[in-house]
């Protein structure tokens, strides 16, 4: 699996977590799922920035 494929896989999983969390926002687990989705998306972005700036 290439880096691009793994990045899209993680972003897809993060989007699914956001979707499920938003659908279940009235329950106890909904906000936690949305937070995991946001952290996953931001983690991928931070990882790509870190690797773009490191020599």
- Taking the domains of the chain in order of start, what are their residue ranges? 6-53
The per-residue pLDDT for range 5-46, each reduced to its tens digit, is 989 999 999 999 999 999 999 999 999 999 999 999 999 999
Residues contacting residue 24 through CB under 8 Å, at least 6 positions apart: 30, 33
Instruction: Give the Cα separation of 31 and 51 in Å (integer).
Output: 30
Residue 1: predicted pLDDT: 83
The pLDDT score that the predictor gives to residue 2 is 85
Length of the chain (residues): 55
């Amino acid at each position: 699996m290439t880096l691009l494929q793994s990045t899209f896989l993680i972003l897809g999983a993060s989007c699914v977590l956001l979707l499920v969390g938003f659908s279940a926002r009235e329950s106890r687990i909904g906000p936690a799922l949305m937070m995991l989705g946001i952290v996953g998306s931001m983690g991928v972005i931070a990882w790509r920035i870190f690797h773009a700036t490191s020599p």
